[in-house]
Amino acid sequence: MAAEEKKIEEGKEAVTPALDWEAKAAEYLAGWQRAKADYLNYKKDEVSRFEETVKFSGEFLIRDLINVLDSFAALEIHFKGEPRPSADGRDLEGVLFIKSQLEDILKKFGLEKILVLAGQKFDPNFHEAVAEIDSEKPSGSVVEEIESGYTLHGKVIRPARVKVAK
């Protein structure tokens, strides 16, 4: 019996290295699968970051063009009530058409004007209070819009500047 037990022990020793290799192979396979999953997640994150960068790449140009829109708005207020075309032969309608075209182009690139209504509650996420005035409106509500605010793809790039009731 001793000889048979010795052969069994030798057989177990011969099988043990094979089991170690199988365990190592399984460990390496699991590590490779984790690395592959990490890499795929990294690629998705990079694509997302790239899309975000492209989406907001024109933000500085758009911020400057907003100033042009403000100039158009000031012009429109200045000439409000004048007959169209204006008395000196300049056509205000043409200027306002150009303003409309610029607004349409900026809208295609994700620019949206923040809608401000007198009496709505002041929201610091979208409004910037430039003055606090006495008003019959409830305290903390918007009384008047001083300067338009804008969002680019939902991100506020310029808050609306407003007067707020005391």
Domain count, the chain: 3
- Please tell me the predicted confidence (pLDDT) of residue 84: 54
Sign of CA dihedral 73, 77, 79, 84: positive
- Please tell me the predicted confidence (pLDDT) of residue 92: 74
Q: Is the pTM of this model over 0.85?
A: no
Q: Are 100 and 120 part of one and the same domain? A: no
CATH code for the domain in which residue 142 is found: 2.30.22.10
- Please tell me the predicted confidence (pLDDT) of residue 163: 92
For the chain, the three-class secondary structure string (H helix, E strand, C coil) is CHHHHHHHHHHHHHHHHHHHHHHHHHHHHHHHHHHHHHHHHHHHHHHHHHHHHHHCCCHHHHHHHHHHHHHHHHHHHHCCCCCCCCCCCCCHHHHHHHHHHHHHHHHHCCEEECCCCCCCECCCCCEEEEEEECCCCCCCEEEEEEECCEEECCEEEECEEEEEEC
Q: Are 156 and 143 part of one and the same domain? A: yes
Q: Are 115 and 100 part of one and the same domain? A: no
Q: Are 46 and 62 part of one and the same domain? A: no
Rg (CA), the chain: 34
Q: Are 162 and 116 in contact (CB under 8 A)?
A: yes
Residue type, 5: E
Residues whose CB falls within 8 Å of the CB of residue 75, separated by 6 or more in sequence, listed in order: 95
- Average confidence (pLDDT) per 10 residues, the chain, 166 residues: 68 62 88 95 94 86 91 82 56 82 92 91 92 87 92 93 91
- Please tell me the predicted confidence (pLDDT) of residue 150: 95
- Please tell me the predicted confidence (pLDDT) of residue 125: 94
- Please tell me the predicted confidence (pLDDT) of residue 16: 59
Per the structure, the complete domain to which residue 159 belongs is given by 111-166
Q: Are 45 and 62 part of one and the same domain? A: no
Q: Are 94 and 62 part of one and the same domain? A: yes
